[in-house]
Amino acid sequence: MKGNFIMLQKEDLKEAIAEVLETMVGKNLLKEPTQTASTEYYTRDELCARLHITYTTLWRMEKRGDIHVHKIGRRNLYSKEEVDALITQGSSMSNTNI
């Protein structure tokens, strides 16, 4: 391979590597994550305080499928988007079987 040299500027090399990564992964890793990609969550305590309910009521809502729990390790987390949608759709929290 005598004489086969390519000279690139530092910025050109960065662009070439980024293009290869985009092709291999199938998405642009260099872009900032979008706002929708970063979901915020309530903890169990925060959600109970927000909805003014007890842990037992929250557990019953989970069992009935009224609210979806995301288990991360040993933590129960609840998507703020899902909770806000549940509240705005007019789901009556006071009609839970206590």
Please report, rounded to a whole number, the percentage of residues in the chain having pLDDT higher than 90: 33
What is the residue extent of each domain of the chain? Answer: 41-92
pLDDT at 62 over 60: yes
Average pLDDT of the segment spanning 26-50 = 72
**Location of structure tokens 């549940």:** 86
Type of residue numbered 84: D
Question: How far, in Å, CA of 14 to CA of 98, rounded?
Answer: 60
pLDDT of residue 32: 56
